[in-house]
Amino acid sequence: MQDYQEFLEEILIPEDELQERIRELGQEISRDYEGKDLLLVCILKGGVMFLTDLMRSIDVPHNIDFMAISSYGAGARQSTGSVQIKLDLATPIEGRNVLIVEDIIDSGHTLTSVINFLNTRRPKSLKICALLDKAERREVEVPIHYRGFTIPNKFVFGYGLDLDEYYRDLPFIGVFRTKPMQGIE
């Protein structure tokens, strides 16, 4: 496997900034949900790193569950606009306070579909926590209740986000290098 540095233009959000912001989000969520029932719903696969750090920063009791949605084909760089539910929740959500945990909101189509789908199950509340907001790319309005960072319209990877399914493990958010490195054909 090639080294990720070949694909890295620059580090957009270093590890310490990510972790600091996630701690702040966790504190905000803990304040808002104090004394309330809370279910974190992680959207796989990209949201998994964010979920595991975020839940360690939340100091109110909570449950977790997972959904997998497909909106991008392997290797694709743009949303197709059509989404498919590949893995549904194991937990009933009627009457519960649901907080969706997502790595990135781009066009907004994925979350709009997820929100519409989950609302049919009558949760008590349904809110969104997104680490990255690529706001320039929005095609449909999505209410973001907890936002980590607003980022420019660049292809990013690391910290849950993949480059053709690799590098989700990197502890920072990097920008994909679109031009070859100097000196390399």
According to the binding rule CB under 6 A, does residue 43 interact with ligand PRP? yes
According to the binding rule CB under 6 A, does residue 108 interact with ligand PRP? yes
Q: What is the DSSP string of 116-180?
A: HHHHTT--SEEEEEEEEE-GGG-SS----SEEEEE--S--EEBTTB-BTTB-TT-SSEEEEP-SP
According to the binding rule CB under 6 A, does residue 42 interact with ligand PRP? no
C-alpha radius of gyration, the chain, whole number: 17
Tell me whether residue 30 or residue 70 sits nearer to ligand PRP (CB atom): 70
Among 12, 38, 42, 46, binds ligand PRP (CB under 6 A): 46
Q: Which stretch binds ligand PRP (CB under 6 A): 21-29, 108-116, 121-129, 145-153?
A: 108-116
Residue among 3, 59, 65, 106 flagged as catalytic: 106
Q: Which stretch binds ligand PRP (CB under 6 A): 1-9, 52-60, 68-76, 150-158?
A: 68-76
According to the binding rule CB under 6 A, does residue 127 interact with ligand PRP? no
As a whole number of angstroms, the distance between CA 117 and CA 60 comes to 27
Which residue type, as a one-letter code, is found at position 47?
A: G
> Cβ 164 to ligand PRP, closest distance in Å?
10
According to the binding rule CB under 6 A, does residue 72 interact with ligand PRP? yes
Tell me whether residue 97 or residue 110 sits nearer to ligand PRP (CB atom): 110
DSSP run (H or E) holding 114? helix 109-119
According to the binding rule CB under 6 A, does residue 4 interact with ligand PRP? no
User: Among positive and negative, which fits the CA dihedral 107, 79, 26, 36?
Assistant: positive
Give the number of other Cβ atoms within 10 Å of residue 143's Cβ: 9
Q: What is the DSSP string of 91-105?
A: S--TT-EEEEEEEEE
- 106 flagged as catalytic: yes
According to the binding rule CB under 6 A, does residue 148 interact with ligand PRP? no
Which spans of this chain sit near ligand PRP (rule: CB under 6 A)?
A: 43-46, 69, 71-72, 79, 102-110, 162
